[in-house]
Structure 1
């Protein structure tokens, strides 16, 4: 069997009330359309054709387009018309699966079942809804055999009572589409060419239409407005939270976690409330994430604790470290084993050695720090001269006192000591003390200024 997939992604999505094409609105950290493309790729088709129209250039630019065949639908005249635009690029011997760029949660195993049912006849995916308003109804004869799909706006009163609906997702041999799509008319209230009409044409010629009903209607829910998008976001996050807990992760509240990428966790990981994970994030064994943290594209080593309100982006944290609370690790930060970065500390392109500590209110940027160093509160590395960035090197066991300013490029040797309040502009040799501050002068007899009487 040769499988090809056609994804319909040409609609404007006017009910989204947004200048962004509907299929590019994010769900779980990636565009709606990307979810559909990923599901299609899991079936290993020989080709994926994406039909675009509104915002076509933006859609192409935003997608991981490798292996996608783009088809332009200049006029949006309905789903049947959209598939017809892609058919010239489809091989005659293929089975064709039609998906929708705004239906992101359908599972690959459901699609595989549908494809297998469509080797020599069309197969339609249906759902049973408590409230089918707006959906095309699936009509059957007295023996429950598929007869047709009627759109909501074209349905009679008795047909509107039907709760089984057309999801729009169907599969059929390419030859059947070539045969029947040109016969589809637009004699309906929308004046559009409906793809499900090929099913009625098949039945009329004695070709039985197979159906499969999806167990969870949310899996085939489309996105037409921001309310529906938010509903799917919660459903996706619920699924991801349950998968984590099934794998042994302890969540303080599974309803208060957002995974906007791929989160991989080891054993005995704990995640507190209101945490956001974006991109590829790895939490190794025994990691503890405090409340209200945002972690993006980072790796956290075993036994490390990330305390409340901390932000990590493209950072690497080794085993048994402590980060936060209120710490910000910017891209290029790497903490070696047992390092500590404390409250209101910001780092950027900083390599902090094993057992080193930056505990309070400091900025460490473009810095290479050895093992066992201690950085006092209020210390900053002045890494930017207005044009270029420069490196600060701090050796093993160095001690930098509070409120020190290290003007890069500069080096503090191993065991070097910087007195509190110093501004360091030259290298500090190993095991030496650097004092670089104005000499204190006490003025005897000084009187504190008093308030001026303005009367």
Structure 2
């Protein structure tokens, strides 16, 4: 069964009013990725044929945020319940094909549980994902008769006796197109909310004496849904804990897992050490023996072997080679590239700049739109003035240049190899050969 392609229907039409937001709830971020995208990505781990995404509004917003080339977009014109959502595609259901129903607000469900559910369908007409929990809260209850599933009662419809039942419905199930089409036509809205419940099809299956099977998720908390911001924060914590645990088991030393924010994808080598309060976002690649001190933020960057990132450094869209020392309190911005054994120190900001081997910018400097050669020293308080109010110009500093403290380098400009620029100098013209560059002294005569 697991080798056969199945169709997936993702229900994502809920407005999510309890999120108190202008955005649909499934577009809010979990682990720096839209809630719905987690569910869509799950379909890539199973053998899918077609993926139907049922939404209600803001198609352009959905399309710009949620990505998958195989999505078939189906609009639910009126929000009349989950049964009505499935009714939107009843005409395109293939009788001899299976359909897996997922929910756009359940991002923690695992591929292992889904594959287990798909396998269980082999010997039944419909297979459900259910779980027994200590605090069922607002979940629909599984009603059994002599051990067999008879029906599902939505929480709003439950009696006091039924509220004591701890086996709950996740909403996720798999059945054939033939059965789904037949059962969905029988649903009605004779209930307190006047909605069409997809859960009603379970009782129809029971009445037809169809085989109804159920399996439990492989891990706890997989069926948590997100309806408000508090539930989102709970899901974020669970999501972080799971991923951080996997990182630790894969060899990453994390000093304080409860104070580590992991919001992307991490590829790492051996003997990586991450201190407390660190945030990783987007795609981050860390080489061997990388040490990251407290409070650092690293986004979409590559950091090579034996680099030391000191406390409270921010690195965004940068590439750092081997044996570099960065920080503390440094800020490397987009398109910064550091070659081997570069040192970037306290309160240094760099943008769109390449710094070659063994160069040093240690204190209180700004470098933008520049090419820095090998073994260059940039003194404290030096500013590369790359913007004239209209355009940003480039600076080229060749090898073995020494720039003293408190200098201003006015772009566009090029400084030749082995040049020395004295402290406090403003350089406005190209230096085409090795030179000593300094400002002329201005004598001030005191009045007598």
On whether the aligned pair clears a TM of 0.5, the verdict is yes
Which secondary structure state, in structure 2, belongs to the residue aligned with residue 92 of structure 1?
coil
Partner of 2:7: 4
Which secondary structure state, in structure 1, belongs to the residue aligned with residue 48 of structure 2?
coil
The two structures have a TM-score, normalised by structure 2, of 0.97
Shift of 1:443: 4.1
Q: For the residues of structure 1 that align with 2:22 and 2:340, how far apart are their CA atoms?
A: 47
Q: For the residues of structure 1 that align with 2:27 and 2:281, how far apart are their CA atoms?
A: 17
Shift of 1:173: 0.8
Spell out, residue by residue over 1:254-275, the C-alpha distance to the aligned partner (whole angstroms, 9 max, x if none). Answer: 1111111101111100001111
Q: Which one of 40, 43, 48 corresponds to residue 46 of structure 2?
A: 43
Q: Which one of 426, 433, 452 corresponds to residue 436 of structure 2?
A: 433
* 1:138 and 2:125 correspond: no
Q: For the residues of structure 2 that align with 1:2 and 1:267, how far apart are their CA atoms?
A: 38
RMSD, matched Cα: 1.3
* 1:17 and 2:16 correspond: no
Q: Which one of 351, 354, 369 corresponds to residue 351 of structure 1?
A: 354
Shift of 1:63: 1.1
Shift of 1:425: 1.0
The equivalences for 1:48-197 within 5 A come to 48-119=51-122, 121-142=125-146, 144-197=147-200
Spell out, residue by residue over 1:210-265, the C-alpha distance to the aligned partner (whole angstroms, 9 max, x if none). Answer: 10012434111000111110001001110111011001110010111111110111
Q: For the residues of structure 2 that align with 1:269 and 1:323, how far apart are their CA atoms?
A: 16
Q: For the residues of structure 1 that align with 2:215 and 2:399, how far apart are their CA atoms?
A: 66
Q: For the residues of structure 1 that align with 2:409 and 2:332, how far apart are their CA atoms?
A: 19
Equivalent pair of 2:37/2:67 in contact (CA under 8 Å): yes
Shift of 1:388: 1.8
Which secondary structure state, in structure 1, belongs to the residue aligned with residue 257 of structure 2?
coil
Which secondary structure state, in structure 1, belongs to the residue aligned with residue 113 of structure 2?
helix
Runs of 4+ off more than 6 Å: none
Moved more, 273-282 or 88-97: 88-97
Q: Which one of 285, 290, 293 corresponds to residue 287 of structure 1?
A: 290
Partner of 1:302: 305
Q: For the residues of structure 1 that align with 2:93 and 2:332, how far apart are their CA atoms?
A: 49
Segments of 5+ residues of structure 1 without an aligned counterpart are 447-455
Moved more, 91-100 or 175-184: 91-100
Q: Which one of 358, 363, 379 corresponds to residue 360 of structure 1?
A: 363
The equivalences for 1:201-350 within 5 A come to 201-350=204-353
Q: For the residues of structure 2 that align with 1:347 and 1:42, how far apart are their CA atoms?
A: 40
Q: For the residues of structure 2 that align with 1:347 and 1:410, how far apart are their CA atoms?
A: 17
Segments of 5+ residues of structure 2 without an aligned counterpart are none
Q: For the residues of structure 2 that align with 1:135 and 1:240, how far apart are their CA atoms?
A: 26
* 1:417 and 2:417 correspond: no
Shift of 1:20: 1.2
